[in-house]
C-alpha cells in the first residue's frame, strides 16, 4: 500500500479519535447550564467528570492537524485558507473554553462562575456545530481553481448539506455527552443527564439518519453502505439503551455511531482530500497533495515509536479516573481533579 494512502488512513483515525473523545467533552459543556442551577454543586460534578481528560482529548486535534500539515501540505494549505473563518472561530472557541475551565473556580463568586459557565457553553457548542459544517463541505467539495486556491465564500460554505452536517454533529455530540455523564456521574446529575439524552435523541436520530443517507446517496461508495447502516442502527440502539438505563451499552453504541459515521465521511472522500466543484481536474487527491516519500517514511517511524506510548498514557489516565463523580467528591475535603478546582486530588 502507498505511504500516502496509509497516512490518509492514519489522519482519518486521528480525526475519528478526536470526535469520539472530544465529542463527549463538547456535550458536557453544552449541557452544563441544564444540569443544575447557577453556582450549584451539580455543575461542578459535570465539569469534574471531564476534568482529568479534556485537555488530553484535545491532543488528538493537534496531532491530526500536525499530521495533515506534514503528510499533505497542499491539503492543509487549501483547507486552512479557504475555511479560514470557521476554523478561526473554532480555534477561538476552544481557547475560550480552555481558559474557562481553568479560571471558573479561581474566585468564590457566583457571578464570576456564571460568566465562565457561559463561556464553556459557547466554547463547546460552536465547535460542535462548525466541525460538522466544515467536514460536510470537505466531502461535498468547494469551488477551487487550478492552483488549488479555494474561491468559495463564507456563504457558499453555509449550504443546506453543510448546515445539516452541523446540526448532526451538534446534536450527536450533545447526546454523546449526556450518555457519558450517565456513565460517569451519580446523583441528580445522572438523572438529569439521562433525561437530556432522551430529549436530544429526538433531534440526533433523525438528523443523523438524514445526513448519512444524503452523504451516501450523493458522495458514498458501494462499500460505505454497511457503515451507514451500522451507524444508524448503533445510534437508535444507543438512544434505546439510554432509555432503559443501560449506560455502558449506550455509551459503547454511541462510540460505534461516531466511528462508523466518520469513517463513512472519509471513505466517501477518498481518493480525494478536497474535491473541486469548479472542475474535478482541480481537485486535491491523496496522490497530488502528499509530501515526498522520504517525509512520509520518517513520519511513519516516528508514529510507530511514539503513538503506542501516547495511547498507553491516555488509557492509564482513564483507568485512574474511572470512578463516578458525585456531589460528595467535589464538596468534601478531598476533591476530584478537574478544571473547576485546578488541583489534583
Q: Which residues pair with 144 in a beta bridge?
A: 150
Please state, in angstroms and rounded to a whole number, the distance separating the CA atoms of residues 251 and 190. 14
Residue in 64, 59, 116, 61 with CA at minimum distance from that of residue 90: 61
- pLDDT < 70 regions, the chain: 1, 38-39, 332-345
CB-CB contact of 296 with 57 (8 Å) = no
Tens of pLDDT, residues 186-223: 889 999 999 999 999 999 999 999 999 999 999 999 99
Please state, in angstroms and rounded to a whole number, the distance separating the CA atoms of residues 249 and 210. 24
pTM value is 0.92
Quick one: pLDDT at residue 37? Answer: 75
Please state, in angstroms and rounded to a whole number, the distance separating the CA atoms of residues 270 and 263. 11
Quick one: pLDDT at residue 98? Answer: 94
Please state, in angstroms and rounded to a whole number, the distance separating the CA atoms of residues 292 and 304. 19
Structural domain count, the chain: 1
Residue 337 lies inside a defined structural domain of this protein = no
Quick one: pLDDT at residue 111? Answer: 87
Q: How far is CA 240 from CA 148, 172, 244, 246, in A?
A: 45, 15, 6, 9
Q: What are phi and psi of 285, to 5 degrees?
A: -120, 170
Quick one: pLDDT at residue 38? Answer: 66
Residue 176 lies inside a defined structural domain of this protein = yes
Quick one: pLDDT at residue 1? Answer: 62
Quick one: pLDDT at residue 345? Answer: 29
Residue 187 lies inside a defined structural domain of this protein = yes
Structural domain that includes position 169:
3-331
CB-CB contact of 250 with 241 (8 Å) = yes
Quick one: pLDDT at residue 332? Answer: 58
Residue 298 C-alpha cell reads as: 520518517
Residue 341 lies inside a defined structural domain of this protein = no
Quick one: pLDDT at residue 339? Answer: 44
- In this structure, the dihedral spanned by the alpha carbons of residues 304, 308, 310 and 315, taken in order and rounded to 10 degrees, is 160
Residue 136 lies inside a defined structural domain of this protein = yes
Residue 343 lies inside a defined structural domain of this protein = no
Tens of pLDDT, residues 127-183: 999 999 999 999 999 999 999 999 999 899 999 999 999 999 999 999 999 999 999
Please state, in angstroms and rounded to a whole number, the distance separating the CA atoms of residues 90 and 75. 19
Residue 342 lies inside a defined structural domain of this protein = no
Q: What are phi and psi of 51, to 5 degrees?
A: -55, -45
- In this structure, the dihedral spanned by the alpha carbons of residues 183, 187, 192 and 193, taken in order and rounded to 10 degrees, is -10
Residue 243 C-alpha cell reads as: 432509555
Residue 139 lies inside a defined structural domain of this protein = yes
CB-CB contact of 247 with 182 (8 Å) = yes
Amino acid at each position: 500500500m502507498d505511504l500516502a494512502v496509509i497516512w490518509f488512513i492514519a489522519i482519518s483515525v486521528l480525526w475519528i479519535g478526536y470526535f469520539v473523545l472530544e465529542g463527549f467533552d463538547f456535550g458536557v459543556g453544552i449541557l452544563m447550564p441544564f444540569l443544575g442551577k447557577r453556582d450549584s454543586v451539580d455543575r461542578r460534578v459535570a465539569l469534574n467528570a471531564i476534568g482529568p481528560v479534556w485537555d488530553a482529548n484535545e491532543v488528538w486535534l493537534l496531532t491530526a492537524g500536525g499530521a495533515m500539515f506534514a503528510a499533505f501540505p497542499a491539503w492543509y494549505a487549501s483547507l486552512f485558507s479557504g475555511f479560514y473563518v470557521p476554523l478561526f472561530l473554532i480555534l477561538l472557541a476552544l481557547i475560550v473554553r480552555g481558559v474557562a475551565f481553568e479560571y471558573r473556580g479561581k474566585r468564590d463568586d457566583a457571578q464570576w462562575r456564571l460568566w465562565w459557565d457561559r463561556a464553556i457553553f459557547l466554547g463547546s457548542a460552536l465547535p460542535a456545530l462548525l466541525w460538522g459544517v466544515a467536514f460536510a463541505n470537505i466531502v461535498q467539495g468547494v469551488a477551487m481553481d487550478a492552483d488549488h486556491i479555494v474561491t468559495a465564500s463564507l456563504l457558499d460554505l453555509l449550504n443546506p448539506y453543510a448546515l445539516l452536517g452541523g446540526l448532526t454533529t451538534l446534536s450527536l455530540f450533545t447526546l454523546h455527552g449526556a450518555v457519558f455523564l450517565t456513565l460517569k456521574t451519580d446523583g441528580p446529575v445522572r438523572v438529569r443527564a439521562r433525561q437530556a439524552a432522551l430529549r436530544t435523541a429526538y433531534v440526533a436520530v433523525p438528523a443523523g439518519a438524514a445526513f448519512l443517507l444524503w452523504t451516501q446517496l450523493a458522495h458514498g461508495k458501494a462499500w460505505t453502505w454497511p457503515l451507514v447502516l451500522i451507524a444508524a442502527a448503533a445510534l437508535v440502539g444507543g438512544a434505546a439503551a439510554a432509555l432503559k438505563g443501560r449506560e455502558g451499552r449506550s455509551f459503547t453504541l454511541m462510540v460505534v455511531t461516531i466511528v462508523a459515521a466518520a469513517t463513512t465521511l472519509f471513505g466517501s472522500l477518498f481518493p480525494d482530500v478536497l474535491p473541486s466543484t469548479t472542475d474535478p481536474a482541480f481537485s486535491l487527491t491523496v496522490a497530488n497533495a502528499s509530501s515526498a516519500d522520504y517525509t512520509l517514511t520518517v513520519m511513519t517511524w516516528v508514529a510507530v515509536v511514539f503513538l503506542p506510548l501516547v495511547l498507553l498514557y491516555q488509557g492509564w489516565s482513564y483507568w485512574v479516573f474511572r470512578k463516578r463523580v458525585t456531589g460528595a467528591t467535589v464538596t468534601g475535603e478531598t476533591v476530584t481533579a478537574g478544571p473547576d478546582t485546578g488541583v489534583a486530588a
